[in-house]
Amino acid sequence: MKRLEMNYDIKKYVKKYKFPCAEELLFSALNIKDKIKHSYNNHITGVNQAVFEKEFDCGFFDKQEDLYILSNIIVKCFKKYAENCDKNNIPRFGMLEHTVPRANIYEEGTQMNLHNDHISTIFEDGKGLPAVTVLGLLQNAEVGGELMMWGNEQKINMNPGEVILFPSNFLYSHSVTLIEKGTRVSFVSWIY
């Protein structure tokens, strides 16, 4: 039996893939904008007071056709991700299911603060912790809105029609920089 060796370069666990239908999904995401809620981030200041800042708008795709398209994108990209892990002797995650894809809409003056996805509150029914984050870009902002990883140390360039997969744990902290002009639209799902 072949022994798996752990690869200590955490960047090897981040993979980007292309997907079709970005324009169709963008149209659907923008159409649900009136139904979505604002996301607020609770930051603890140095004096232990909570400061709530508006980050971005998020909601769920509501058309079955969109959910079908997104589910196929997520499954196909995860299959490629798993094949890459196998090819490079990287211990991988088995895919059981994924969450319902969420649309994230960032308008001027909004951002996503630094965080990681190693949280149990993603699930309403106590499924545990997510294993892999799946993030797809539908539209870039004109200025700002860059995906940053590893404590904001590295910018990850993404174009509309690309999806990035990475482990949903504390080693993969990430953020989206302040939108200065335009609107950034993405979708996210978590594999568990």
Model pLDDT, residue 40: 47
Query: How many other CB atoms are found less than 10 A from the CB of residue 90?
Result: 17
Q: What is the pLDDT along the chain (192 residues), one digit of tens a residue?
A: 555 566 677 888 899 999 877 777 888 787 776 666 555 444 433 334 444 456 777 888 888 988 899 999 999 999 999 888 777 766 666 667 888 898 999 999 999 989 888 876 666 665 667 889 999 999 999 999 999 999 888 999 999 999 999 999 889 999 999 999 999 999 999 988
Q: Which residues contact 109 (CB under 8 A, 6 or more apart)?
A: 178, 179
CB-CB neighbours of 109 under 10 Å: 10
Domain boundaries, the chain: 13-45+53-191
Say if strands 162-167 and 132-139 run parallel, antiparallel, or are unpaired: antiparallel
Cα angle: 166, vertex 187, 118; to 5 degrees: 40
Quote the CATH superfamily of domain 13-45+53-191: q2cbj1_9rhob like domain (2.60.120.620)
Given this model, what pLDDT does residue 27 score? 80
Residue 121 is predicted with a pLDDT of 63
- 3-state secondary structure at position 191: strand
Count how many residues are written for the chain. 192
Q: Which long-range contacts (CB under 8 A, 24 or more apart) does 42-45 make?
A: 43/113
* Token reading at 186: 């993405």
Q: Check if the beta carbon of residue 152 is closer than 8 Å to that of residue 175.
A: yes
Q: Which pLDDT does position 90 carry in this prediction? A: 67
pLDDT in tens, 24-41: 788 878 777 666 655 544
pLDDT digits (tens, 9 = 90+) for 131-166: 899 999 999 999 999 999 998 889 999 999 999 999
